[in-house]
Amino acid sequence: MTDTSQPTLADAQPFLKWAGGKGQLLAQYDRFFPTDRGRAYFEPFAGSGAVFFELRKRDLFDDYALSDVNPELINCYLVVRNQVDALVEALRAHKLAHEQDDHQHYYEVRDQDRDPAWAGASEVKRAARMIYLNKTCYNGLWRVNSKGQFNVPMGRYKNPDVLSEKRLRAASLALQNVDVNTRPFTDVLDHAQAGDFVYFDPPYDPLSSTANFTSYSADSFGQDDQRRLAETFRALSDRGCKVMLSNSDTPFVRGLYEGFTVHTVTARRAINSKGGKRGEITEVLVVNY
């Protein structure tokens, strides 16, 4: 039965599945979230936005800013914010086509970015494609090759949630008046001021040489990037910002944030090429307060 009730800000939650999404960890993060009202909140690795949506529901800040280097992801957020009616209709069409012939429709949509004409696709068409693929691909993994082309095979789902209209409309409410932009994480240094809250959820440091799932954009995120991120974290801390960061529980990461408070949380690994290696692992939560 379809839920026809009007969405509210309290209904806001992620509309995308995302590798490393923080929905499962919100209960463990709760005691680290600010409780007093602040000027601004920044999340420079937008991902699924689980922490953003949680804090947005609490109305803790005057201003909110989401950014990421993945232009398709940011376009998706902008379309949900600005053109949700058109997006709902585009996803309705994808849902119908998928129900008629899931395999054919999936691979036709997946291969659209191989066509040079795709560069001229509308914002709504691009956003609908991303959400459709995200809901129907294997493990919900958004992965692209060096050319920026999406290359994940179709997942095995009997009834994928291609169109969740109430969720999209609640997310659209939450995104109103939010600054959403394609930016590198270092740009937060140009905007964050003393007292602001910054949360970093970067591509994680791999736990092993075969566990690197960082290609969410055409550029990977290696150890030099992790070092630049740690420098950014320290610069914001020195400025008087409250800063929180999630990452793998590895000696490399712990070394980067020596001198800050490092908490351990338990997460469930959902993406691994070997089924036996999916399960509970520890992650770190670094804070400067």
- Report the share of the chain in percent with pLDDT over 70: 90
Contact present, 168 and 238 (Cβ < 8 Å): no
Q: Is residue 72 pLDDT above 70, yes or no?
A: yes
For the ranges 11-25, 65-79, 96-110, the lowest mean pLDDT is seen at 11-25
- Report the share of the chain in percent with pLDDT over 90: 82
- For helices 165-175 and 84-100, the axis angle rounded to 10 degrees is 150
Overall average pLDDT of the 198-209 stretch: 90
pLDDT digits (tens, 9 = 90+) for 113-138: 999 999 999 999 999 999 999 999 99
Can you give the pLDDT at residue 139? 87
Structure tokens at 282: 């520890």
Torsion of CA 116, 120, 124, 126, to 10 degrees: 20
Q: Is residue 83 pLDDT above 50, yes or no?
A: yes
Structure tokens at 28: 């463990």
Overall average pLDDT of the 54-67 stretch: 96
Domains of the chain with bracketed CATH: 9-71+167-287 (3.40.50.150), 78-164 (1.10.1020.10)
**99 CB contacts (<8 Å, ≥6 apart)?**
none
Q: Is residue 4 pLDDT above 80, yes or no?
A: no
Overall average pLDDT of the 43-55 stretch: 96
pTM for this predicted structure = 0.90
